[in-house]
Structure 1
Amino acid sequence: MSWLRAIALSAMVLSLSLGAGPASASSFYLADITARDGVVLTGNVFTPDTPGPHPAIIFITSWATPNIEYLAQAQQFADAGYIVLSYTPRGFYFSGGYIETAGPKDISDVSDVIDWLLLNTPADPARIGAAGISYGSGISLLGSAFDSRIRAVAALSTWTDLLYSLLSNQTRHQQAAGLLQLAADLTGRPSAELQQLLSDYFANRNLGGLATFAQVRSASTYVDRINANRPAILIANAYGDSLFAPNQLTDFFTRLTGPKRLELRPGDHAIPELTGLLGLPNDAWTSVHRWFDQYLRGVDTGIALERPVQLQPRGQSGYEAYASWSTISTSSARYYLGEVPWWSDEGSLLASAQTGWSWTVLAGDDTTANGGAVLLTNGAEALTGEPPTNWIPSVDRDNAGVWQSGWLTSARRLRGAAHLRLTVTPGSSGQTTVIAYLYDTDEYGTGSLVTHVAYTLRGAVAGQAYTVDTDFPSTVYDVPSGHRLSLVIDTVDPLYADQGAFFTTVKFSSPSGNPSYVSLPLK
């Protein structure tokens, strides 16, 4: 393995020369850290060439990503007087063991790494932080629940509820889980437990086992322990995160009682933080530096006095600041789904309820409405500012229900999670999936995707009506005056493994006493 370590070191040096700027007064070396069960974790360490003790940050790498991930940022923090230890979790690359998917062994590894840090560097035990993107962020949050020495956390593109991430609304996230499996197989050694779980997941069996697996790997399970330890927690994610959608974060954030900050931006998983990994100016990483300087170095950066919810509206460069998540919207607008006339194949979104109608579509065929490709579609929005689009007239009305509002006479400033209530009656197959897409549509029929949600009726009985009551993923989006809202509901999306069955039907309706509607939280 020595020649592999040499290659890794060469890559690290190259990364430093390209991304971290001028040489600084700090030392860099590779480290092997032995966990309590004998597994060796590989890492790298930056130490300032000045007397300690120093504040310290532990960076935990992302899923399937080696230690070079944080080199540019580690160098910048070391320049500022931090000791930085970055390590690869067990099961990936040169670290020993098997991939435990943020399980108990990964959590205990965080404490073992802190022990090693305090034994081998002049780190201040009272000023230790943990940070990461994606996989590393989730382990950092979990570590803060079980090790009170962690005084600050920066969790970027994180999850707090793994079951919600993999099976929200009982719908399997096919592309996201497939990407994680492929990356693990190529770069690591999946544990037998993980292999069995993924096999069951794609085979649509033993999903109750997934719930048990996910619970112990979710920071939301341990929020009381985190609150008892009171680390300062920064969370930064994207509205369009196709792995870890933001609704799970807002509840977790609200339940935190210590110092906290939530930042949401346009884009997809790990995209808003990407340029910062190259050492380039980046809003998310600027906040990370300010956060750790405030809570580890003791420097007054002003971040503690700012409103803790910071939201960047999609398509805009500035931020809106709020005192809490509950205050981001001040009103709501409810649009009721109206009857779909046979001659137009399209219903209206109305200000008052219209009941007693039904509309039946053929299931199992996709339409032009879809959520795109994992990481790529919403990721492009982070770089271009342009959301994914669809020409609404192209949606096949045989396979979807379409409802549109009148032309808006004033802008609708959507803030938070829109809500859908819909009565669904599956055809002969029973179990079915519906996917609802909310669009901002211009005068030419081009719809910009505002948000979408999938919902699977597991164990449903054919011919029986069910109420779908669910939130769309939270977003911050301004629908301009002169545009209209479009709601498209179909039964297939490439993002998801579950879908309506071929050669069956799904009926949408609005029964008396239980009207179907979409409700928008507005500012």
Structure 2
Amino acid sequence: MAPRRKTVLLALLLLLFPLALAPGTPATAAPAITALRFADIPSGGVTLKATVVMPAARGSYPAAIMPSSWGLNDLEYVAQAQAFAARGYVVVSYTPRGWWLSGGEIDTAGPQDLADLSTVIDWALANTDADPARIGAAGVSYGAGISLLGAGTDPRIRAVGVLSGWTDLAYSLYGDETRHRQAADLLGIAATLLGHPGAELTDKLADFAANRDVDQVVTWASTRSAATHLDQINANAPAVLIANAWGDSFFPPNQLTGFFDRLTGPKRLELRPGDHAIAELTGLAGLPNDVWTSLARWFDQYLAGRDTGIGAEPAVRITPWNAPAEQYPTWAALSTATTRYGLGGIRTLDGTGLLGGAATTGWSKALPTDRDTVANGGLVLLTNGAAAFTGRRPWIWLPAVDRTRAGVWAAERPTSVTRLRGIPRLHVNLSGTDATGTVVAYLYDLDLAGKASLITHAPAGWHTTSGGARTLDLGLGATAYDLPAGHSLTLVLDTTDPLYYDDNAPNRSITVTGGSYLDVPLR
């Protein structure tokens, strides 16, 4: 059996396995579509492997171009390609260069990848019934990033679906001056096992791990970021749908909100519970899925000429971690007020400080630099991914947080539900710091039994030429969460988390001092 066919069969089995476990659904009539066919698309001296499916009847149809995710191939979208073809689309999904059986080396959404996307569009126009005036690009993760960047370089792309994608790759790697360890490690492992990373990517990942040549890695990542090319995207004015998860550990959603605000064409932002690419997962297996339904409505509206109503709906749709979906006209409209919770002095009895009221002075709390606690952000993909299916946030028993290793501040228990909506922001004063260092902040929902469910968290680092006193202003991960009546909003600060590299010297300490506070956006 030919290698291509073996690869195809293996991928099909992996993709269709969930369908074998799913309950059966009644068959429904759908327009006839062509059988899935494979294509080799020459581009820039390499051959890209692709699959094609479209309506069986000849005509002129909108096209959906779908680059595959990091580590996957063109068969990733088999179920959705068939669904879109049944809606009247030509669908060409392809494996970007350097992955699986496509030629060349991984370009990480660089100029070669963007040229390839345009070449795939050329090929679709020459070899299918695709309408040149109705071209869309969409994908999950890597495919999302390539699609959005491609909308800035190729004006033929009139609609984009950015599913679990990034807008600022440098932020994804170095957000708040802290290297995101587990996410980068997994990207490197996938590239080594399933692709051809080449010298450029290998060198950049090695530099990232070794914390060297940071400026060069940031420059490399920034050129591969839609935020850097926003003017070109706005000039082309595609209709952009961005869908992501609150707990995305690869591409944290804080990077999306400002970018979304600055988009000037038709746009929509959707945020749901989960982690990277988890919300789209069941749709890839052909099961009903909100994200893919939104993408179909979006493409129907802006490519197929069908009024689905999505263009008239509020531009922001969120599903909180523990509440029904909500819609808002803008990102800023999520919150109607901000409450400041001052950090107070630590009580001797239980080692906990008060969170609330005016920020007080005259106190301090020392944190050792190389001692972890049970407070953590969990495991990349797994922790927040499981929460998307179970509806339960990861939790710890708060009394188990070692107060000699962490600072803990708990708010008074409100008598009504507190609705957190947006990005909590921590202002923390530090003393006795080294020239470089890291702290990690966790915001919890604490019940009466001591169970603390994680609402959001974020690390913050600094890299300076001298130590001493300093102030950090940190945006925690964007969130939407209803704190139940009688529960306490609780902040934990420590210096180590397995999700991230820290830049703390061993056997040292960092001291949190008075005047620190937490601003929480509420509705």
**TM-score, length basis structure 1:** 0.96
User: Given the alignment, which residue of 469, 473, 483 partners 1:469?
Assistant: 473
Letter of the 1:392 counterpart: L
User: 1:436 — aligned with what?
Assistant: 441
Structure-1 residue corresponding to 2:280: 273
User: Which structure 2 residues correspond to residues 151-230 of structure 1 after superposition, within 5 A?
Assistant: 151-230=158-237
CA 1:12–1:169: 2 relative to 1, 3 Å? closer
Q: Which of 361, 364, 369 is 2:370 aligned to? A: 364
Aligned counterpart, 2:516:
516
DSSP 3-state at the match of 2:480? strand
CA distance in 1, matches of 2:227, 2:74: 27
Cα contact 1:19–1:72 (8 A) shared by 2: no
Within 5 Å, give how 1:127-166 maps onto structure 2: 127-166=134-173
Deviates more, 1:287-296 or 1:15-24: 15-24
- Give the distance between the partners of 2:238 and 2:516, measured in 1 at CA: 43
**SS where residue 54 of structure 2 aligns?**
strand
Residue of structure 2 aligned with 1:350, choices 352, 356, 371: 356
User: Which deviations, in whole Å up to 9, do the C-alpha atoms of 1:441-489 show, x marking residues without a partner?
Assistant: 0001111101101011213633x11100111111100101100011000
Contact 1:492-1:499 within 8 A present in 2 as well: no
Q: Which letter does structure 1 place at the counterpart of 2:500?
A: Y
Q: Does 1:455 align with 2:460?
A: yes
- In the other structure, the counterpart of 1:109 is 116
Matches within 5 A, 1:330-409: 330-409=336-415
Letter in 2 for 1:214: A
User: Aligned to 1:26, what secondary structure does the other structure show?
Assistant: coil
Distance 1:446 1:426 in 2: 32
User: Residues 158 and 443 (structure 1 numbering): CA distance in 2 closer, same or farther, change over 3 Å?
Assistant: same
* Whole-angstrom distance in 2 between the partners of 1:157 and 1:371: 19
Checking the alignment, whether the CA contact within 8 Å between 2:441 and 2:491 is kept in structure 1 is yes
Give per-residue Cα distances to partners, 1:243-263, cap 9 Å, x unaligned.
000011001110011111000
The letter of the residue matching 1:85 is V
* Deviation of the 1:424 alpha carbon: 1.5
CA contact (8 A) 2:338 2:522 kept: yes
What is the alpha-carbon distance in structure 2 between the residues aligned to residue 25 and residue 169 of structure 1?
48
1:481 aligned to 2:502?
no
1:383 and 1:500 mapped to 2: Cα distance?
A: 36
Match in the other structure for 1:503: 507
Deviation at 1:222, TM superposition (A): 1.1
Query: Cα deviation per residue 1:134-163 (whole Å; 9 max; x = unaligned)?
Result: 000000000000001001001100100001
Contact 1:493–1:499 (Cα < 8 Å) also in 2: no
Contact 2:378–2:499 (8 Å) recurs in 1 = yes
Deviation string for 1:146-184 (max 9, x for gaps)? 001001001100100001100001100110000000010
Contact 1:413 1:478 in 2 (8 A): yes
CA RMSD of aligned residues (A): 1.6
**Structure 1 unaligned spans of 5+:** none
**1: CA distance, partners of 2:519 / 2:86:** 49
- Provide the identity percentage: 52
- Shift of the alpha carbon at 1:351? 1.1
Of 469, 491, 494, which residue of structure 2 is paired with 1:490? 494
Distance 1:17 1:171, change over 3 A: closer
**Cα 1:460/1:268, change in 2 over 3 Å:** farther
Q: Which residue of 2 aligns with 1:26?
A: 34
Quick check: 1:47 aligned with 2:54? yes
SS at match of 2:244: strand
Cα gap change, 1:339/1:381 in structure 2, threshold over 3 Å: closer, same or farther? same
- Check 1:172–1:144 CA distance in 2 against 1; reply closer, same or farther (3 A cut): same
Tell me the CA shift for residue 81 of structure 1.
Answer: 1.2
Q: 1:418 to 1:465 in 2, by over 3 A?
A: same
- TM-superposition CA deviations, 1:74-109 (whole Å, max 9, x none): 001111111100000100000000011111111111
Aligned to 2:458, the other structure's residue is in SS state: strand
Corresponding residue for residue 23 of structure 2: none
Alpha-carbon distance between aligned partners in 1 of 2:160 and 2:178, rounded to the nearest angstrom: 31
Which residue is 2:127 aligned to?
120
Structure 2 unaligned residues grouped into runs of 5+: 21-26
Report the TM-score, using the length of structure 2 for normalisation: 0.96
Specify which of 319, 322, 334 is matched with residue 325 of structure 2. Answer: 319
Tell me if 1:415 matches 2:421. yes
Aligned to 1:465, what secondary structure does the other structure show?
strand
Instruction: Tell me the distance in 2 between the aligned counterparts of 1:163 and 1:25.
Output: 41
Q: Judge conservation of contact 1:151–1:231 (CA < 8 Å) in 2.
A: yes
Given the superposition, is the C-alpha separation of residues 398 and 58 from structure 1 closer, same or farther in structure 2, using an over 3 Å criterion? same
Rounded Cα–Cα distance in structure 1 between residues aligned with 2:385 and 2:263:
29
CA contact under 8 A between 2:16 and 2:285: conserved in structure 1? no
Specify the SS of the correspondent of 1:217. coil
In 2, Cα distance between equivalents of 1:339 and 1:278:
52
Q: In structure 2, what is the equivalent of residue 3 of structure 1?
A: 2
Q: Please give the per-residue CA displacement for 1:343-394, whole angstroms capped at 9, x wherever unaligned.
A: 4322111212211211112220100000000000000111100001011111
User: 3-state DSSP class of the match of 1:315?
Assistant: coil
SS in 2 for 1:406: coil
What is the deviation of 1:430? 3.5
CA contact (8 A) 2:12 2:75 kept: no
